[in-house]
Amino acid sequence: MADIYIGLMSGTSADSIDCATLDLSSKDIKVLDCRNFEIPKDLRKDVIQSSQLKKIEKELIDNLDFRMAEVLVETVKKIIDELNLEVEDIKAIGSHGQTIKHEPKSEMPYTLQIGDPQKISNDLKIRTVGNFRYDDIKAGGEGAPLTPVFHKIVFGEDKKKKVIVNIGGITNITALDHTEVIGFDTGPGNCLMDCWSRENNVGNYDDKGSWASLGTVNQSLLETMMDDDYFSRKYPKSTGPDYFNHKWIKDNIAKSDNKISPEDVQATLLQITVLSLVESINLLNLSKETIYLCGGGVHNEFLCNEITKQSKAKVNTTLDLGIDPDYVEAICFAWLAKQRIHNINFNLNKITGSKGEVYLGRIYEPSK
């Protein structure tokens, strides 16, 4: 009999919801289905605007929390219907939620994801695991990235050194070795390029990096941007599009004496993603290992070509390891939901810096 777990992931780009349906009745991870659902335009717009605000009122948070939960509920209903699933066969939903704020280094460290897991649980009458970052931050950790523990299980069985790089809104890296696992956010992934594309009416994103490819990297702006303290900070570290945002771009452009064309800015932003990643790979002495890319960034051909060129490494995608690069995170959170249901905890000291073993996720039972 199948033990069904559904993973829901809305990345920092806030463009869509990735859904993965797994059968975890054995030790093997059996992927039954993966699909993607767009986030309604009005909600996406409000999410992006809210993430750029310095302070968000509770009323707005509650509104977004409710609306995102509604979208996630409808998403699961479609999956249940289209896959002809029996609700009683679904052991749990793992819902990461949509990140609005991530401030692990503030005076009172916190992280904020919307998409109320209790509402999801209540509406669907299915146990839901959410708030995956909470306990890690409480234990003094960064709260992200969490995917390296999953990467170790699915990609590290052969005990060979390799690099897993997820390029979503933010880029995170997992260094897999047979002795330990290290993971952290290297810096922006797509978030700055997406932001600048919207600002200049190119679209919600730069398709295949074609706009950036028309520009020329402005070395002065590149140096100014790479001088940001985040890039020189030692890991464990994490960040979000609430930091690498529209204001961050504008503030750095303002430091430049010369007028820079929009496409040259875009070319430079792409290089920020490449350079911060390549520097992290070199820092970990992994430049001779194979890099496996996943996340939305795999569709940015110009970005991937630049990573290949500048890292001098062999660059593949996780498809070569057997998992669709678009759905690694959604699959991860379905898997993490099972770990939480079975009360399995993790030592993330080398990844997030938290102390001791922590549970990833809180369990929300349907209200009776």
Cis peptide before 366 (omega within 30 of 0): no
pLDDT tens per residue, range 52-97: 898 899 999 999 999 999 999 999 999 999 999 999 999 999 999 9
* Percent of the chain whose predicted confidence (pLDDT) is above 70: 100
Quote the CA–CA distance of 368 and 355 in Å, as a whole number: 36
Which of these CATH numbers, 2.60.120.560, 3.40.50.720, 3.30.420.40, 3.30.300.30, describes 4-144+345-364? 3.30.420.40
Q: Residue 355 has what pLDDT? A: 97
Residue 301 has pLDDT above 80, yes or no: yes
Q: Residue 15 has what pLDDT? A: 82
CA distances from 98 to 112, 282, 299, 325 (A): 8, 31, 21, 19
Model-level pTM?
A: 0.97
Q: How confident is the model at residue 178 (pLDDT cuts 50, 70, 90)?
A: low
pLDDT tens per residue, range 2-31: 899 999 999 777 889 999 999 999 999 999
Q: Which of 217, 280, 233 is nearest to 105 (CA)?
A: 233
pLDDT tens per residue, range 211-236: 999 999 999 999 999 999 999 999 99
**Maximum mean pLDDT: which of 205-209, 253-257, 312-316:** 205-209
Which has the minimum average pLDDT: 64-73, 152-161, 174-183, 304-313?
A: 174-183
pLDDT tens per residue, range 99-143: 999 999 999 999 999 999 999 999 999 999 999 999 999 999 999
Domain positions in the chain are 4-144+345-364, 147-321
Q: Residue 274 has what pLDDT? A: 98
Q: What is the crossing angle of helices 117-124 and 58-82, to 10°?
A: 40
Q: Residue 167 has what pLDDT? A: 97
The domain 147-321 having CATH identifier 3.30.750.24: the answer here is: no
| Mean pLDDT for the chain overall | 95
Q: Which of 84, 89, 74, 99 is nearest to 19 (CA)?
A: 74
Q: Please, which contacts does 134-138 make with residues 24 or more away whose CB atoms are closer than 8 Å?
A: 134/362, 135/358, 135/359, 135/360, 135/362, 136/348, 136/352, 136/354, 136/358, 136/360, 137/104, 137/109, 137/110, 137/111, 137/354, 138/358
Q: Pick the more confident residue, 159 or 126.
A: 126
Q: Residue 253 has what pLDDT? A: 97
Does the fold of domain 147-321 match that of domain 4-144+345-364?
yes
The answer to whether 140 touches 353, Cβ cutoff 8 Å, is: yes
